[in-house]
Amino acid sequence: MSLSRPTVQLIASRRFGDARGWFTEVYSVPAFEKLGISCTFVQDNHSLSVPAYTLRGLHFQTPPRGQDKLVRCIRGRIFDVAVDIRKGSPTYGQWVGAELSADNGHQLFVPVGFAHGFVTLEDNCEVSYKCSDSYAPDSDGGIRWDDPAIGSGGIDWPLPAGTIPELSAKDAVQPLLADFDSPFPYDGRPLAPLA
């Protein structure tokens, strides 16, 4: 299969600062093409999660309306996760995660074929993300955030002991990975640890 599709990437944007504050370029077509990311983004989303330990995910859109996502936290801190759900992938069901914050300015690129979710690590977190396709309710999908089969033991969400995250009614009843028949083909690039 073609290796032209990028995999999950953690992107650290360079900040230029002085006594006034700082400036950063969060997205540029030429810069992202150098990273192997050449999708066209067509929709920007922005969410506010008021209570700490609000968990949103794990979400995706199925083909032909799959979405590449470029995620950043513009207020507060989140732990952002991508799970490989590409049929036939040697890393199927494995996950990677990273802290994204307003302070560190990091972004996570999550390509088509990966479920995405995050948990807020403090109150009043705002997350902004670009998508390569617009929202399509008929293609909306998800898997359980606490499925123990993911990564052979579940995602290691940074939740305090005994904490149950704030969930939407939909996210509380998403199917398990074992009950999901993936429509996403493997593209030849296994999931790799984040740099």
> Catalytic: which of 59, 92, 116, 186?
59
Mean pLDDT value across residues 138-162: 96
Strands 77-84 and 140-142: unpaired
Active-site residue 135, yes or no? no
User: For position 32, what pLDDT does the model report?
Assistant: 95
Domain ranges of the chain: 9-14+24-179
| Reported confidence tier of residue 4, pLDDT bands at 50, 70, 90 | low
The yes-or-no verdict on residue 1 having pLDDT over 50 is: no
CA distances from 9 to 61, 64, 96, 123, 191 (A): 19, 23, 10, 26, 10
- Give the pLDDT score at 3: 44
| Residue 106 annotated among the catalytic residues of the structure | no
Whether the pLDDT of residue 2 is over 50: the answer is: no
Candidates 53, 92, 129, 186; catalytic one: 129
Question: Is residue 91 a contact partner of residue 84, using CB atoms and an 8 Å limit?
Answer: yes
Read off the pLDDT of residues 56-97 as tens digits, 9 standing for 90 and up. Answer: 999 999 999 999 999 999 999 999 999 999 999 999 999 999
Closest CA to 166 of 133, 126, 121: 121
**CA neighbours closer than 13 Å in the CB half-sphere of residue 9:** 17
Q: What is the pLDDT of residue 195?
A: 79
**Fold designation for 9-14+24-179:** Jelly Rolls (2.60.120)
- Per residue in 106-115, pLDDT (tens digit) is 999 999 999 9
pTM of the model: 0.95
CB 186 within 8 A of CB 5: no
pLDDT-above-90 percentage for the chain: 95
